[in-house]
A = this chain, B = another copy of it.
Amino acid sequence: MSKELNTVYIGRKPTMNYVLAVITNFNSSNTKEVTLKARGRAITTAVDVAEIVNHRFMKELNVSEITIGTEEIQQEEGGTRNVSTIEIKLTHD
């Protein structure tokens, strides 16, 4: 896996956990790009993380790309349901 491309998966932990993960990613591995990925309710958290990192900790960052999508989730009781996804790409020069 390329060190240039790092991904932080956003889930149900406190927002600041993911903020720290993003900052650590940028600082520890010479990465110029970190992608946040989230689905369902965590989409809001992903946007919060991007905004907090960007405005409070690493003002030199840019949101270079945001994409949304849909994933099919297998349900325990059978069948599938759709869930929305988001990817937010943060870059610095």
Contacts and interface: CB of A to CB of B under 8 A. Distances in A.
Interface residues of A, number: 20
6 contacts: A40-B44, A43-B43, A47-B85, A51-B70, A66-B67, A68-B88
A35 to B, nearest CB: 14
Interface of A: 40-41, 43-44, 47-48, 50-51, 55, 63, 66-70, 82, 84-86, 88
Q: Tell me the dominant secondary structure on chain A's binding face.
A: strand
B66 A66 contact: yes
A69 B41 contact: no
B70 A63 contact: no
A68 B66 contact: yes
Contacts of A55: 70
Contacts of A48: 84
